[in-house]
Chain A
Amino acid sequence: AQSVTQLDSHVSVSEGTPVLLRCNYSSSYSPSLFWYVQHPNKGLQLLLKYTSAATLVKGINGFEAEFKKSETSFHLTKPSAHMSDAAEYFCVVSDPWPGTASKLTFGTGTRLQVTL
């Protein structure tokens, strides 16, 4: 079974400093991996996705993530945090094979707090 582990339940950074949200995955195949963001009382917005192309994936709002097979990691980074980045972030793995349900398995989430 595929799974993801988000190593931090809560991360606090100062505005303007770098952001690092950590995620490790477990998969029998070369996985498809995603990061979604959820602002309070809102649905989920896709930040970026990895689907076996370039290992460094750029997403929206200045976020990027690097797929490292040797470390089974897919950490999310941003060079400079903004107050509007405060939200819950989910690392997600998906069944990669065509013709099957794209069932997403979510991590437990990392709450990002951005302080002045």
Chain B
Amino acid sequence: DTGVSQDPRHKITKRGQNVTFRCDPISEHNRLYWYRQTLGQGPEFLTYFQNEAQLEKSRLLSDRFSAERPKGSFSTLEIQRTEQGDSAMYLCASSGETNRGGGNTIYFGEGSWLTVV
């Protein structure tokens, strides 16, 4: 078990360009999450997949953002026409099935830093 992997770890892009981040969850985890964290703030939920189905999206996820998990394994998060306000760390996380009576544990990757210049 190598944990949640994210790539690239750092990305600097010019405003208006498109960027794509990849996340490889812990193997056999069927739930995958994307969060965004800006400087000095806690992470904010963006979207959630159960297997290949995207079940929930935050209002933070504008139409410039798209996330996919085509085979229920790795996921990609694409940002089109990047803006300076998109500069943040994008965190991926994964978990197994929820157990009745309590929350399941969510494991985070080390994040992908995006700087839009």
Contact = CB atoms under 8 A, between A and B. Distances in A.
Interface centre among B31, B41, B42 (most CB of A within 10 A): B42
Contact of A95 (B44, B103, B107): B103
Interface in B15-47: 31, 33, 35, 40-45
A44 B36 CA distance: 12
Contacts of A53: 102
Interface string B36-61: 00001111110010100001100000
Contact size range, A: 20 to 34
B43 A44 contact: yes
Given A101-B48, A102-B95, A46 B105 contact: yes
A98 to B, nearest CB: 5
A106 B43 contact: yes
B14 to A, nearest CB: 23
Given A98-B100, A106-B42, A49 B110 contact: no
Given A103-B45, A109-B42, A44 B102 contact: no
B67 to A, nearest CB: 14
A13 interface: no
B44 A99 contact: no
B55 A101 contact: yes
Given A43-B91, A43-B111, A44-B91, A102 B43 contact: no
Given A42-B111, A99-B98, 13 more contacts: A43-B91, A43-B108, A46-B105, A46-B107, A53-B102, A90-B43, A96-B101, A96-B103, A98-B101, A100-B98, A101-B31, A103-B45, A109-B41
